Structure 1
């Protein structure tokens, strides 16, 4: 984007903000914080594409004035992170909702394909999950403990292993967006087929209820995070493939920044899911039904609230203060 175009698109908002700073006591603190986030985004953009320009100097000066007003008590470290999760990130999540929906549709379609393929071909499960895993699970079923895989390692080592593995998978799905949305969709599709094959395998052994009951203790968060990571990857690829009126490089950088920010809460979700899988799922035989239902329901509500409902509320508030 040419600098003059960047200025023309944002000049009115900057001037309005500058006028508000002259009477900060009359400005809603939340509105001031919201606009400051927009300003810092503009500043980051100018630093990247217009270094040494008058625009950069102007935005830097305006940002410093705003910083002094908002953080007069020098509580930046204590306020910046909460502000990010409370305002900036929800606004990004709101804009990413269409990509999350596409990701969910792809995942469910691939899950259905995994189910259908497993029902049609008994060897399909082995081709997806591997002979070693299938044979081990068959042995566990014969021993009367079909979910024994979750108790093979110590709780802490297992937690580290699972968290590392799951976070790696999620970031792979996201980073495949560098290959356009098709890359992210490909990785997401493979994961969906694998889950479908996994569940069908237990269904064929008359253990679908047990497997679902056990897996969803941690799987509610884990599977949701995979779908959300797929959405972030599709979004990344979209900005590369369809830059709109922006230069492709600028559009891609902007999309990458947004995508990485979306991946922050997703990574946190995987940490929690890994802890549940390591310390709770292994005790599926001794967990009361009400506790299991509570964990699953709470996990689902957290995902729906923070990734969908809360971003809508923040967006409405932001638009009202604009």
Structure 2
């Protein structure tokens, strides 16, 4: 009985090998032709194919789909099924996938992808705003209680001895003389620092958001410490105007970078039903879109800082520019996009 069963299995295996060989010999030429055409158009462009070759692509694609259907139904070689699945997927993506040029992709990013990513991060953005506010209050109170904290928060090499002990006249001159001296150096440092903070706040979000939180708090502390020094000399409003020109854009960008880092960190810490890698990948798509936009905002802030700090000295004008930029970003990210998409 065992001998008969083994003979039957041998016959079946031989028949299957013959069927597979026959299946390959009848259809493999079409698969290879389809694969060769796809290789050419993917590496170059449709112009690399002749007209008849372009017309043959849909027919070869349907033939490959038919072969895949037969291979699956008859349980043929798994390697062959995997090959046909890959070939059919490539064909589908080329024939029916969306292919856009650079200009439409850029337009889509600014019109939809970036604002949608920022709106998706609204919870984390509020947390980032709260952290920066807490940091600013802490920096203000620490320097008010003990002026030595100023050097601990803002590097002494940058302050150059012109911190809490500087006179009101010196500090006022720094606000309105085009930026020479301490405040000019602080402005350059602040821009560079904020770019670094934005990148690190995003990149270090993988460490369960802890470094991101600390960086946002530190950024707030620096602002609070500087504000305390100027406020103690009766120049808090004037400093606010100087900072507002570029600060509303710059600080908003920092908060968005922090939000992006928090999204990744919290998804890794609490992945839900997904694996940690899958959760991080999903969060990373939203966070990455937001971060590309953050770099654009920081470029805007750099232009505003470079021009506004040197040429605009009126407090009202400074506040108007800063407030106008903040209103623009809020409308762009939330109001206009929500109305356009019928969101509530």
TM-score normalised per structure 2: 0.65
Equivalent of 2:257 in 229, 235, 239? 229
* RMSD over equivalenced CA pairs, Å: 3.2
1:217 aligns with 2:242: no
Equivalent of 1:176 in 201, 204, 210? 204
Equivalent of 1:246 in 267, 274, 280? 274
Paired residues of 2:238 and 2:315 also in contact (CA < 8 A): no
Matches within 5 A, 1:66-81: 66-67=97-98, 76-81=101-106
2:139 corresponds in structure 1 to 114
CA distance in 2, matches of 1:197, 1:114: 5
Paired residues of 2:244 and 2:319 also in contact (CA < 8 A): no
Give the drift of 1:177.
0.4
1:295 aligns with 2:324: no
Query: Which has the bigger relative contact order, CA under 8 A and spacing at least 6?
Result: 1
CA distance in 1, matches of 2:155, 2:125: 30
Cα-to-partner distance string for 1:113-141 (whole Å, 9 max, x where unaligned): 12222222221112111334162356585
CA distance in 2, matches of 1:128, 1:201: 12
2:96 corresponds in structure 1 to 65
Give the drift of 1:278.
1.3
Paired residues of 1:97 and 1:308 also in contact (CA < 8 A): no
CA distance in 1, matches of 2:269, 2:151: 36
Matches within 5 A, 1:297-316: 297-313=323-339, 316=342
Paired residues of 1:177 and 1:184 also in contact (CA < 8 A): yes
Residues 235 and 64 from structure 1, CA distance in 2 versus in 1: closer, same or farther, beyond 3 angstroms?
A: farther
Residues 164 and 186 from structure 1, CA distance in 2 versus in 1: closer, same or farther, beyond 3 angstroms?
A: closer
2:5 corresponds in structure 1 to none
1:152 corresponds in structure 2 to 180
Give the drift of 1:299.
0.5
Larger radius of gyration between Structure 1 and Structure 2: 2
Paired residues of 2:127 and 2:259 also in contact (CA < 8 A): yes
1:19 corresponds in structure 2 to none
CA distance in 2, matches of 1:93, 1:80: 18
TM-score normalised per structure 1: 0.69
Give the drift of 1:298.
1.8
1:188 aligns with 2:216: yes
1:128 aligns with 2:153: yes
Give the drift of 1:163.
5.4
Paired residues of 1:229 and 1:263 also in contact (CA < 8 A): yes
Aligned positions, number: 257
Cα-to-partner distance string for 1:50-104 (whole Å, 9 max, x where unaligned): x979499559716742527xx6xxxx22212111221223222221111111111
Paired residues of 2:167 and 2:233 also in contact (CA < 8 A): no
Give the drift of 1:150.
5.8
1:105 aligns with 2:130: yes
CA distance in 1, matches of 2:206, 2:227: 31
Where does the alignment leave 5 or more consecutive residues of structure 1 unmatched? 1-50
Where does the alignment leave 5 or more consecutive residues of structure 2 unmatched? 1-81
